[in-house]
């Protein structure tokens, strides 16, 4: 095994020998066996334990394994001393450091782990674990009843994930894959997560046990994930910490005396679980309406970002259709080639943010009366068209109507990304040309920026903007950040920001951010 500190590893192994341990592993994954640590004696009848090393030591700590140990924060005898991403595990570089952490763990296990420290990982404690994973609408199922509630559920495989649903199952002939059947059981409290099917049974109410027995009796002798005619899997859920519930999904294989159960790692896929990933602003943004002009490479990514952040309603305007060449930088995939870009954006948004209502429209009108009517009632307009006349029209109409406007665009084939905000208290975009606080962009000519030349393409009447995908994502991220900053009323950003991605002439000769007042505006001739 290769380590990041061979000298420290040699000292660690020497200390193990002095502590009565002997090597019994291979060269790739060294393992040492020795006497049980005194602090563990109250948790197990075992007299021996193992120290298992993994590649990456000491950045990955040596794991302590006690065969037969059954307690929290221990999976199949392996004690969890540090989380995998915890940098503090480097403290295990010495044997004494490992012993100190193990003694702390033993004391916490004796006194009882705090509920918030136990996490929601019941499948780790089950005696047998499956390589399959499960996803289920946990909150929807919990909301369906009170403790003692039983619901029929079904499951379909997608890759190695069992996607669990409730209600009427789909027809296997229509989806081209088998449909598994199972049962969902809701309980009010469990002292400890179940480790076996007998533990699951003991946790159920009398009515739930009858349901379980009927489902097991109806099974044929098949192995998961083949349909059996009875219960192919079961789900047990119970409150664990505050309003959070834990759940364990158990697959079933075999029949009678040969019945085998394994726990699947499970994650919720209901809307409340998804919204948790939207961030702290999700509730604040839920009632916001955003209009996005332009569903191209930048606009599509902006739409997904603001929707995934929690925005409730999106209006997306663009009359263009997706082509195969667009897919390189667009959120849409080849599946949407030939369809309007707004259709592709709507489909992707619905996948990422099912709480967002998205409607697609043709291009925004230039007519000021129609444009005023179009933006009426929206909280923010985001212009991602890169079309100067439309940007000017939006700036004029939004300014007159008091509607905040965010403009995001790329220049010089992705060398520069500029994000402008026009809202209450900001300098109107049209007035910034004569304001020395705002840095003027250089003329968009190949002589100024030869690094990213455009190109002509069949069917195009002008050179194609050859901004690389990284520039597109940078512009989209900064545009979306400016929109969220406005929607949350924080206004922590300046009203204009230029990001230099490929250095050019001063003041854009260094990669980074250029804000108003950073430098005097240059004169271009």
Domain ranges of the chain: 4-119, 121-269, 277-512
Cβ neighbours around 253 below 10 Å, total: 19
* 397/400 Cα distance (integer angstroms): 5
Q: Which two tokens stand for residue 10?
A: 């040699």
* 232/155 Cα distance (integer angstroms): 9
4-119 in CATH: which number? 3.10.110
Cβ neighbours around 165 below 10 Å, total: 18
Which class for 271: exposed (0-12), middle (13-18), buried (19 or more C-beta within 10 A)?
A: middle
For residue 523, the model assigns a pLDDT of 47
Q: Which of 486, 334, 488, 329 is nearest to 419 (CA)?
A: 486
For residue 445, the model assigns a pLDDT of 58
For residue 84, the model assigns a pLDDT of 86
Q: Which residues have a Cβ under 8 Å from the Cβ of 182 and sit 6 or more positions away? A: 152, 153, 154, 155, 164, 215, 231, 232, 233, 234, 235
Q: Which of 297, 295, 298 is nearest to 346 (CA)?
A: 295
Q: Which two tokens stand for residue 458?
A: 């069949």
Domain 121-269 has CATH 3.40.140: yes
3-state SS, 447-515, equals CCCCCCCCECCCCCCCCECCCCHHHHHHHHHHHHHHHHHHHCCCCCCCCEEEEECCCCCCCCCCCEEEC
Q: Which of 338, 331, 333 is nearest to 294 (CA)?
A: 331
For residue 76, the model assigns a pLDDT of 84
Q: Which residues pair with 33 in a beta bridge?
A: 22, 50
For residue 521, the model assigns a pLDDT of 47
277-512 in CATH: which number? 3.40.50.720
* 116/376 Cα distance (integer angstroms): 46
3-state SS, 272-308, equals HHHHHCCCCCHHHHCCCEEEEECCCHHHHHHHHHHHH
Per-residue pLDDT of the chain (525 residues; tens, 9 = 90+): 789 999 999 999 999 999 999 998 777 789 999 999 999 999 999 999 999 999 899 999 999 999 988 888 888 899 999 988 899 999 999 999 999 999 999 999 888 877 666 556 788 889 899 999 999 999 999 998 899 999 999 999 999 999 999 999 999 999 999 999 999 999 998 888 899 999 999 999 999 999 999 999 999 999 999 999 999 999 999 997 767 889 999 999 999 889 999 999 999 999 999 998 999 999 999 999 999 999 999 999 999 999 999 999 999 999 999 999 999 999 999 999 999 999 999 999 999 999 999 999 999 999 999 999 999 999 999 999 999 999 999 999 999 999 999 999 999 999 999 999 999 999 999 999 999 889 889 876 544 444 455 565 665 555 556 799 999 999 999 999 999 999 999 999 999 999 999 999 888 999 999 876 655 544 443
* 127/194 Cα distance (integer angstroms): 9
- Helix/strand/coil percentages in the chain, nearest 5: 30, 25, 45
Q: Which two tokens stand for residue 153?
A: 């559920």
For residue 463, the model assigns a pLDDT of 55
Integer angstrom CA distances of residue 205 from 27, 202, 487: 51, 8, 49
- 3-state SS class at 160: coil
Give, as one character, the DSSP assignment of residue 95: H
* 516/391 Cα distance (integer angstroms): 20
- 3-state SS class at 90: helix
For residue 115, the model assigns a pLDDT of 62
For residue 516, the model assigns a pLDDT of 67
- 3-state SS class at 518: coil
3-state SS, 199-249, equals HHHHHCCHHHHHHHHHHHHCCCCCCCCCCCCCCCEEEEEEEEECCEEEEEE
Q: Which two tokens stand for residue 517?
A: 């007042």
């Amino acid at each position: 095994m290769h380590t990041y500190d061979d000298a420290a590893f040699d000292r660690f192994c020497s200390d193990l020998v002095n502590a009565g341990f002997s090597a019994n592993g291979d060269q790739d994954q060294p393992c040492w066996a020795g006497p049980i640590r005194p602090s563990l004696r109250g948790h197990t009848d075992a007299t021996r334990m193992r120290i298992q090393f993994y590649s990456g030591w000491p950045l990955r700590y040596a794991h302590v394994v006690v065969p037969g140990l059954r307690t929290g924060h221990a999976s199949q005898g392996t004690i969890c001393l540090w989380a995998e991403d915890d940098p503090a595990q480097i403290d295990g570089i010495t044997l004494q450091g490992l012993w100190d952490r193990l003694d702390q763990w033993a004391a916490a296990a004796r006194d009882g782990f705090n509920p918030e420290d136990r996490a929601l990982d019941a499948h780790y404690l089950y005696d047998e674990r499956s390589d399959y994973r499960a996803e289920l609408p946990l909150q929807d199922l919990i909301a369906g009843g009170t403790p003692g509630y039983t619901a029929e559920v079904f499951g379909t495989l997608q890759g190695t994930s069992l996607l669990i649903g409730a209600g009427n199952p789909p027809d296997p002939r229509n989806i081209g894959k088998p449909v598994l059947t199972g049962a969902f059981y809701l309980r009010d409290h469990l002292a400890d997560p179940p480790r076996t099917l007998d533990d699951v049974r003991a946790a159920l109410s009398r009515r739930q046990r009858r349901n379980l027995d009927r489902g097991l009796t109806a099974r044929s002798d098949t192995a998961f994930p083949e349909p059996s005619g009875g219960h192919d899997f079961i789900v047990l859920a119970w409150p664990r910490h505050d309003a959070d519930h834990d759940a364990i999904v158990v697959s079933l294989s075999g029949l009678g005396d040969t019945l085998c159960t394994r726990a699947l790692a499970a994650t919720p896929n209901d809307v409340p679980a998804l919204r948790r990933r939207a961030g702290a602003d999700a509730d604040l943004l839920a009632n916001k309406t955003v209009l996005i002009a332009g569903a191209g490479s930048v606009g599509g990514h902006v739409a997904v970002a603001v929707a995934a952040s929690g925005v409730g309603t999106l209006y997306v305007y663009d009359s263009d259709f997706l082509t195969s060449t667009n897919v390189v930088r667009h959120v849409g995939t080849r599946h949407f080639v030939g369809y309007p870009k707004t259709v592709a954006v709507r489909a992707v948004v619905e996948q990422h943010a099912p709480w967002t209502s998205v409607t697609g429209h043709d291009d925004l009108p230039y007519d000021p009366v129609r444009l005023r009517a179009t933006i009426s009632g929206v909280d923010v307009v985001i212009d991602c068209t890169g079309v100067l006349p439309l940007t000017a029209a939006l700036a004029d109409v939004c300014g007159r109507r008091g509607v905040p406007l965010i403009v995001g665009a790329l220049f010089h084939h992705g060398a520069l990304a500029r994000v402008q905000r026009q809202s209450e208290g900001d300098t109107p975009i049209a007035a910034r040309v004569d304001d020395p606080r705002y840095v003027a962009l250089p003329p968009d000519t190949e002589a100024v920026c030869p690094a990213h030349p455009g190109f002509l393409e069949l069917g195009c009447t002008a050179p194609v903007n050859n901004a690389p995908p990284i520039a597109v994502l940078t512009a989209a991220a900064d545009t979306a950040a400016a929109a969220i900053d406005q929607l949350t009323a924080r206004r922590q950003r300046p009203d204009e920001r230029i990001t230099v991605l490929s250095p050019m002439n001063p003041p854009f000769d260094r990669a980074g951010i250029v804000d108003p007042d950073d430098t005097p505006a240059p004169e271009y001739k």
